[in-house]
Amino acid sequence: MVVATKDFVRKALRQRQDITQFGEYIIGSAAAAHKYWTWNLHSSFDGRPLSQSPATPGSTGWLGEGTMFLKGSEFIDLVKFDIAAIPNLTRLKRGQNTSKRCHAGCDSPEPLGHILQRCHRTRHHLSSIAS
């Protein structure tokens, strides 16, 4: 029969703590790991559209100036558009195991780029506005 020494147990516990700690988080269960990695994935994308904004002050200068030509709700929608926070299936269903295919039947994922540039429903709507 093999008996573990105190030093062996301490070393094993220290190794366990080292591999379950990411920054300030200590992940001690599968649920905690799922929560941490979901948060980590979400936070790695959210805000990415604004990461270069300090280098281009003209692109976001209008935010501080305001305008009397926009209603408050329109201003909020423009800010959402500027930071790529427009609701779409790819964003709303992130972290869920459900379909993120476009509702217009495109059989394509529905990120913001698809909605603005490729989706036939949006392109038809935009061409009817232009004419």
pLDDT, one tens digit per residue, over 105-122 is 888 888 877 877 788 877
Q: Which of 52, 53, 71 is nearest to 61 (CA)?
A: 53
Three-class SS of residue 55? helix
pLDDT, one tens digit per residue, over 59-89 is 777 777 766 788 888 888 888 877 777 777 8
Percent of the chain with pLDDT over 90: 0
pLDDT of residue 96: 80
Is the per-residue pLDDT at 7 higher than 80? Answer: yes
DSSP 77-99: HHHHHHTT----HHHHTTTSSS-
pLDDT of residue 128: 60
For all residues of the chain together, what is the average pLDDT? 76
Cβ atoms < 10 Å from Cβ of 122: 15
